[in-house]
Amino acid sequence: MKNFVFISPNFPTNYWLFCRELKKNGLNVLGIGDAPYEELTQDLKDSLNEYYKVDSLEDYDAVYRAVAFLIFKHGRIDWLESNNEYWLERDARLRTDFHITSGFQTDDIPRIKYKSKMKEYYRQAGIPVARYHLVDTPKRCLEFIAEVGYPVVVKPDNGVGASHTFKLKSDEDLYRFFEFKWPGTQYIMEEFIDGEVNSYDAIIDSRGEPMFETGNVTPMSIMDIVNNADNSIYYILKDLPEDTRRAGRATVKSFGVKSRFVHFEFFRLTRDQGLGKKGDIVALEVNMRPCGGFTPDMIDFAHSTDVYKIWADMIAFDRSTMPVGQHTYCAYAGRRDGKNFAMSHTDIMKKYGSHMRMVDRMPDALADAMGNQMYVATFATKEELDEFYQDVLSANQ
């Protein structure tokens, strides 16, 4: 029996489903987390063969000792994953330290976590990338801005989501950024790209071939959603465009991805600019884990399938017979608390109840990027999808 260590299996709350499918496939599923065992849901408890609680997942020594104990008790660990962006570096370090070869190692981290390093591999895949400058002094930054023009985007070179990301429109903004930036953090400055975010989401087998592919579109900037406390929207595409599929597969090959669930982000240009024509695909960043929040569930709703099972089948068998059924759009709308909306919750449910697949409050840890009150619904046409967003997010005049 193969041993699988799942780091933080209780967060996000839907990740117990990965554990369930692993256990169904005959793996010995061993969880490590910082939540007390009695606080785990019964579904998660039933999906684990053993759970080891640490005081803090931030404490590497504690997690290291947990893995060592599980090896002592169960034998060699075959897989170790969290499927969580926040723990990718920790996962790689643990694999390296315990000689677990079924995933990224410490030496792999720079090219999959540092935005400046990713660009080389995107270029190798033949995908254009934004010009950039690693932030050092205001003078050098101004020289870069003189080359590309305002606005520019500045964010941590190794960061999660849109945390501490700035759009600078003037010299005044630049000097203000230098006052507020985190000390000791390397930032990357990039030319601004007018585009909507299009993703390639896939489960890749041990040969680097896709077992399942889809994609989503984020019409609004996550950076603006976080910084301006805007509402949040994105949707799973009914059908993946061929240019996104080609770009995604080329990126898989360039980065040497094997045996992973991935979420690659691209810009689709909304106007002609230096990097290409309107509609062209431009690189943004790679994420070597599933798209966050409840996106795996949304993918299931959009394609009448089960990506938790497909992923677990990849781990256990390197193939899957899970069918993919009827394709629809699956929309996410995240309302921000404190805003005055034209339609009440009751109105929304009355009109769209038959389309709803999930209605819930978002955890505080995800609310900055995802909104506070979320609605997930499926639609057969783009016109229905657009009407839904109009109704759910329109402000009361």
The stretch 309-328 carries a mean pLDDT of 97
The yes-or-no verdict on residue 228 having pLDDT over 70 is no
User: Listing from the earlier edge strand, what are the strands of the sheet with 28-33?
Assistant: 50-53, 28-33, 3-7, 79-81
Per-residue confidence (pLDDT) for residue 146, from 0 to 100: 98
Q: What is the DSSP string of 209-278?
A: -EEEEE-EEE-S-HHHHHHHT--EEEEE-SS--HHHHHHHHHHHHHHT--SEEEEEEEEEESS-BTTB-T
The yes-or-no verdict on residue 226 having pLDDT over 50 is no
Percentage of the chain with pLDDT > 90? 89
Give Cα 177 distance to the centre of its chain: 26
The yes-or-no verdict on residue 220 having pLDDT over 70 is no
Per-residue confidence (pLDDT) for residue 219, from 0 to 100: 85
What span, in angstroms and rounded, lies between the C-alpha atoms of 213 and 59? Answer: 36
The yes-or-no verdict on residue 163 having pLDDT over 80 is no
Per-residue confidence (pLDDT) for residue 160, from 0 to 100: 74
Per-residue confidence (pLDDT) for residue 362, from 0 to 100: 87
The yes-or-no verdict on residue 223 having pLDDT over 80 is no
Percentage of the chain with pLDDT > 70? 97
- Predicted model pTM: 0.94
Per-residue confidence (pLDDT) for residue 352, from 0 to 100: 98
What is the tens place of the pLDDT at every residue in 19-57?
Answer: 999 999 999 999 999 999 999 999 999 999 999 999 999
Give the single-character DSSP code of 197. Answer: E
Q: Give me the chain's average pLDDT, please.
A: 95
What do you get for the CA distance between the two ends of the chain, in Å? 61
Per-residue confidence (pLDDT) for residue 289, from 0 to 100: 97
The stretch 331-354 carries a mean pLDDT of 94
Per-residue confidence (pLDDT) for residue 368, from 0 to 100: 82
Top-confidence residue, 167 or 226: 167
Per-residue confidence (pLDDT) for residue 222, from 0 to 100: 45
What is the tens place of the pLDDT at every residue in 174-202?
Answer: 999 999 999 999 999 999 999 999 999 99
The stretch 69-89 carries a mean pLDDT of 97
For 57, the token pair is 């997942």
The yes-or-no verdict on residue 329 having pLDDT over 60 is yes
What is the tens place of the pLDDT at every residue in 347-384?
Answer: 999 999 999 999 999 888 888 888 899 999 999 999 99
Q: How many helices (H) and strands (E) does the chain have?
A: 15, 17
The stretch 244-255 carries a mean pLDDT of 98
Q: Say if residue 56 is exposed, middle or buried (CB neighbours under 10 Å; 0-12, 13-18, 19+).
A: exposed
The stretch 286-301 carries a mean pLDDT of 95
Nearest to 267, CA basis, from 325, 378, 191 = 191
The stretch 217-225 carries a mean pLDDT of 65
What is the tens place of the pLDDT at every residue in 64-75?
Answer: 999 999 999 999
